[in-house]
Amino acid sequence: MARPRAFETKVALERAMGVFWQFGYEEASLPDLLTGMGLTRGSLYKAFKDKKNLFLIVLELYESVAVDAAVETLNDKDTPDGRDRIIQMFEGLIAAAMNGDHRGCLLCTAAAGSASSDPDIAQTVHQGMTKMQGGLLAAIDAAPMFADLSNPERNRLANTLLTQYIGLQMLARSRLSLGILQHAADAIEDILTGAAHRP
């Protein structure tokens, strides 16, 4: 009954995610988005309302792709020891950063920018971060070496790892060559072995 869409919503959103991931919310200009997504102003505003709404949709897409992937690694039953899952997760992001991927984590970038002052965005970011927190905690629970840890200790370890995650993602994004990423995986191992109760 009417003219059909010339673009697929799904791929347009994936491309929008790419633009926001690279530039961040504020610094991604509308022209950036339009060329990146391959459509024009009218179509974008008709299909996604406005920039902020588009970003919120993209944020949820990011969660269901990047965050969920990390959380799945942290819950991967094929790797019996939760410790190994944690290391795998960090090794993934460190490898990406050292291979020239300086996009970091869209969630972290959003949290860092002034976009986080918007309540809607802040809430979505909070949701994603909490998911990461839960994933880390699940992996800790699945690690024999942490069997003796109390609940507060487990939470503290999860939070330390999440803070480390955020710090590393910001470092990846900053392109600062402080030599941190080179041995960051070993550093994570140090944290894990140090956190375990030793006889």
Residues making contact with a copy of itself (CB under 8 A):
23-24, 26-27, 108-109, 111-114, 116-117, 122, 125-126, 129-130, 133, 152-153, 155-157, 159-160, 162-168, 170-171, 173-180, 183-184, 186-187, 190-191, 193-195, 198
Question: Which is nearest to 150 in space by CA: 140, 161, 164?
Answer: 140
Q: Residue 74 class from Cβ within 10 Å (0-12 exposed, 13-18 middle, 19+ buried)?
A: buried
Element (H, E) at 178: none
CB of 185 to a copy of itself, least distance (A): 10
Concatenating the DSSP letter of every residue in 53-100 gives HHHHHHHHHHIIIIIHHHHHHHH-TTS--HHHHHHHHHHHHHHHHHTT
Position 118 contacts DNA (CB under 7 A): no
Evaluate whether 31 touches 49 at the Cβ level (below 8 Å): no
CB of 170 to a copy of itself, least distance (A): 5
The pattern of x and - marking residues 30 through 69 that bind DNA according to CB under 7 A reads: xx-------xxxxx-xxx--xxx-----------------
Residue 5 interface partner, choices a copy of itself, DNA, none, CB cut-off 5-8 Å depending on type: DNA
Residue 38 is classified by DSSP as T
Nearer to a copy of itself, 142 or 166 (CB): 166
The residues binding DNA (CB under 7 A) are 1-7, 28-31, 39-43, 45-47, 50-52
